[in-house]
Chain A
């Protein structure tokens, strides 16, 4: 078990599609319009009168075995010991291989900067002891962020008491966003 690994647990039954998390991320990280580090997946099922709309937030999963880091030719994409996957902008040449490699389409190329960008789990906030902006702002408390290796932590508690799923686990990337179902 590593010392610490950050992960996100999302209870998508609580997600209202209010997009506050998208707005908060944009504000916190200066993401210009036209790009988004996070998004809500909408699913509409059934026909009237038995209709269901389900909302599922998504962003970089900060995987344990990230393909984006593996394919980066310059090492600009790297992973910290606490699991957060980051991009060293100075080394990014904008080849976009990582964008192609990510199974979740979490990365995007910034035309205006010539480099690739993605969710950083608000590393600047986390390192100050705060929550990522999306987690702090969620009005329905659908998001829980923390250290998944902590046996007494909230994440392990939730994962022990609720059923959950991962997205595209068959890729072998080891995504660290857990969706409670």
Chain B
């Protein structure tokens, strides 16, 4: 039987990635379901946007450290090979993490109340 190559780090990343996606999705839903031109569930939308980027960011770090030569992880972003699910996945992760961070900034860091909450 073949050796198991992807272990606990990958398992944890899978959970964290899904967690971020779920939070982001719920936050987006709460933002875009509108009542009288404003978010129907504003607090869910805001807290969701705040929480979404972090699990996937941590999960991505776990992925980097699972690599046999982790310091070479940047090579993933020098190439895009559409036939490789790993290449597609790496780019998607970066893309989603960035989107989640921008979403967090756009929704929350611009509001004075929240900024004071964070500082």
Please give the residue numbers on chain A whose beta carbons come within 8 Å of chain B beta carbons, in ascending order: 70-75, 91-97, 99-100, 105, 108-111, 113-116
Not counting A114-B67, A115-B68, a sample of 13 additional A-B residue pairs whose C-beta atoms are within 8 angstroms of each other reads A70-B84, A71-B83, A71-B85, A91-B72, A91-B75, A93-B75, A96-B6, A96-B68, A97-B84, A97-B86, A99-B5, A114-B68, A116-B68
Known: A70-B84, A71-B83, A74-B79. A96 touches B5 (CB 8 A): yes
State whether B68 touches A95 (Cβ < 8 A).
yes
Please give the residue numbers on chain B whose beta carbons come within 8 Å of chain A beta carbons, in ascending order: 2-3, 5-6, 66-70, 72-73, 75-76, 78-79, 81, 83-87, 90
Beta-carbon nearest neighbor of A100 in chain B:
B5
State whether B84 touches A94 (Cβ < 8 A).
no
State whether A75 touches B68 (Cβ < 8 A).
no
Interface secondary structure of B, over-half rule: loop
Residues of A within 8 A of B86 (CB): 71-73, 95, 97
State whether B69 touches A94 (Cβ < 8 A).
yes
14 contacts across the A-B interface (CB closer than 8 A): A71-B86, A73-B76, A74-B76, A74-B87, A91-B75, A92-B72, A93-B68, A93-B69, A93-B70, A93-B72, A94-B70, A97-B85, A110-B68, A116-B68
Residues of B within 8 A of A97 (CB): 84-86
State whether B69 touches A115 (Cβ < 8 A).
yes
Interface secondary structure of A, over-half rule: loop
Known: A73-B79, A73-B86, A93-B76. A109 touches B5 (CB 8 A): yes
Beta-carbon nearest neighbor of A110 in chain B:
B68
- Report the bound CA distance from A97 to B66 in whole Å: 12
- Report the bound CA distance from A96 to B6 in whole Å: 8
Closest CB-CB distance, A61 to chain B, in whole Å? 16
Known: A93-B68, A93-B76, A115-B69. A70 touches B90 (CB 8 A): no
Residues of A within 8 A of B67 (CB): 93-95, 114
Residues of A within 8 A of B81 (CB): 72-75
Known: A94-B67, A96-B68. A70 touches B76 (CB 8 A): no
